[in-house]
């Protein structure tokens, strides 16, 4: 992977002011980004959660990420397996920018399986950031230290799915210590990966039942949703109109469309080929919007 790494100290205007409240103090920040100054001018929300993401966690992470991106918000996370990677990918799929905070120096992408994702983040106008100079491998304690930067770089933290004993709970604690708003999405009481989010809500975190809860905390008035692209084929338009309601599940859209399965699959394939739809995985789809 080829990219330029810049170093910023506390005295540099491109060092995020919000990180000055992090403890232990951050002395320098290494950044790989083509649009770093622009990213600092936009509102940022950290979306974090369990590495063992469930279908429910994937659905709500994708939904909130997509809707926040549509409001011009930059998504922050830690590039880890699970919720982090889901949030990064959903931001990119929605044509948004995302910031990944690394637990090692920026030449040592962790996990290795996310090498391509890290490259995409930079190519699409996002950033990789770290406080670690070369060479610094991803040591065990770096992950907790990394979480205070995830909390510090964002204005609001959203936990979509987490157990009660996880690194995500450290991120929430760091955020509260820094005076940030923390929100959590409630989950089924039968799922271990919902025990952390439900506990956060029980002890005072904001309950996020929709993206407007996050926007209110940011002081942002929701923008009117952009109009969906119009297509010539009537069967494709049926799907576009259904996805425009916010639905992402291919099975549900198929049932609502009332189209024969062969016609539905052909229309869905053409919408993906022409760039109207983006595949999010697990038969979930995101609708692209015109500017």
CATH of the domain at 257: 1.10.10
pLDDT at 290: 40
Question: Read out DSSP for 3-17?
Answer: ---EEEETTSTTS-G
Residue 21 belongs to some domain of the structure: yes
Q: Give yes or no: residues 201 and 242 share one domain.
A: no
**Sequence-ordered list of residues with C-beta below 8 angstroms from that of 147, at least 6 positions apart, any chain:** 48, 78, 167, 168, 170, 171, 174
pLDDT at 116: 95
Q: Give yes or no: residues 37 and 155 share one domain.
A: yes
Question: Read out DSSP for 269-281?
Answer: HHHHHTTSEEEEE
pLDDT at 37: 94
Q: Give yes or no: residues 190 and 261 share one domain.
A: no
pLDDT at 227: 56
Quote the domain boundaries for residue 107.
6-218
Q: Give yes or no: residues 150 and 126 share one domain.
A: yes
pLDDT at 184: 97
Q: Give yes or no: residues 214 and 279 share one domain.
A: no
Q: Could you give the number of structural domains in the chain?
A: 2
Residue 28 belongs to some domain of the structure: yes
Residue 228 belongs to some domain of the structure: no
- Note the residue count of the chain: 291
| Distance of alpha carbon 135 from alpha carbon 97, whole angstroms | 27
Residue 224 belongs to some domain of the structure: no
Q: Give yes or no: residues 161 and 262 share one domain.
A: no
Q: Give yes or no: residues 112 and 245 share one domain.
A: no
Residue 227 belongs to some domain of the structure: no
Q: Give yes or no: residues 204 and 253 share one domain.
A: no
Q: Give yes or no: residues 42 and 79 share one domain.
A: yes
3-state secondary structure at position 89: helix
Question: Read out DSSP for 191-230?
Answer: -GGGHHHHHHHHTTPEE-SSHHHHHHHHT-PPPPPPPBPP
Among positive and negative, which fits the CA dihedral 125, 48, 278, 276? negative
Mean pLDDT per 10-residue interval, the chain, length 291 residues: 86 90 91 96 97 93 93 96 96 94 96 96 97 94 95 97 92 93 95 95 94 93 67 91 85 95 95 86 75 28
Residue 266 belongs to some domain of the structure: yes
pTM of the shown model:
0.78
| Distance of alpha carbon 168 from alpha carbon 188, whole angstroms | 18
Residue 226 belongs to some domain of the structure: no
**Sequence-ordered list of residues with C-beta below 8 angstroms from that of 149, at least 6 positions apart, any chain:** 19, 22, 26, 101, 129, 131
Q: Give yes or no: residues 24 and 111 share one domain.
A: yes
| Distance of alpha carbon 217 from alpha carbon 85, whole angstroms | 24
Q: Give yes or no: residues 213 and 259 share one domain.
A: no
Q: Give yes or no: residues 245 and 156 share one domain.
A: no
CATH of the domain at 127: 3.40.50.450
């Amino acid at each position: 992977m080829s990219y330029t790494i810049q170093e910023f100290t506390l005295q540099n205007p491109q060092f995020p002011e919000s990180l000055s409240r992090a403890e232990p103090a951050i002395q320098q920040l290494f950044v790989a980004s083509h649009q770093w100054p622009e990213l600092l001018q936009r509102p940022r929300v950290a979306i974090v959660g369990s590495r063992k993401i469930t279908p429910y966690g994937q659905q709500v992470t994708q939904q909130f990420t997509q809707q926040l991106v549509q409001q011009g918000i930059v998504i922050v996370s830690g590039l880890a397996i699970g919720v982090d990677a889901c949030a990064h990918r959903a931001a990119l799929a929605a044509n948004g920018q995302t910031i990944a905070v690394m637990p090692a120096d920026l030449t040592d992408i962790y996990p290795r399986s996310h090498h391509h994702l890290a490259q995409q983040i930079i190519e699409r106008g996002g950033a990789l950031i770290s406080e670690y100079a070369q060479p610094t491998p991803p040591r065990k304690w770096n992950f907790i230290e990394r979480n205070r930067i995830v909390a510090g770089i964002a204005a609001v933290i959203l936990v979509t799915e987490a157990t009660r004993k996880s690194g995500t709970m450290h991120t929430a604690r760091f955020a509260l210590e820094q005076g940030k708003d923390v929100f959590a999405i409630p989950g089924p009481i039968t799922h271990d990966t919902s025990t952390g989010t439900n506990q956060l809500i029980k002890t005072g975190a904001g309950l996020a039942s929709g993206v407007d809860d996050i926007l209110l905390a940011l002081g942002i008035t929701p923008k009117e949703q952009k109009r969906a692209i119009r297509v010539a084929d009537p069967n494709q338009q049926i799907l576009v109109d259904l996805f425009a309601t916010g639905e992402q599940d291919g099975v549900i859209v198929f049932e609502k469309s009332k189209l024969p399965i062969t016609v539905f699959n052909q229309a869905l394939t053409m919408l993906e080929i022409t760039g109207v739809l983006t595949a999010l995985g697990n038969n979930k789809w995101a609708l692209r919007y015109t500017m």
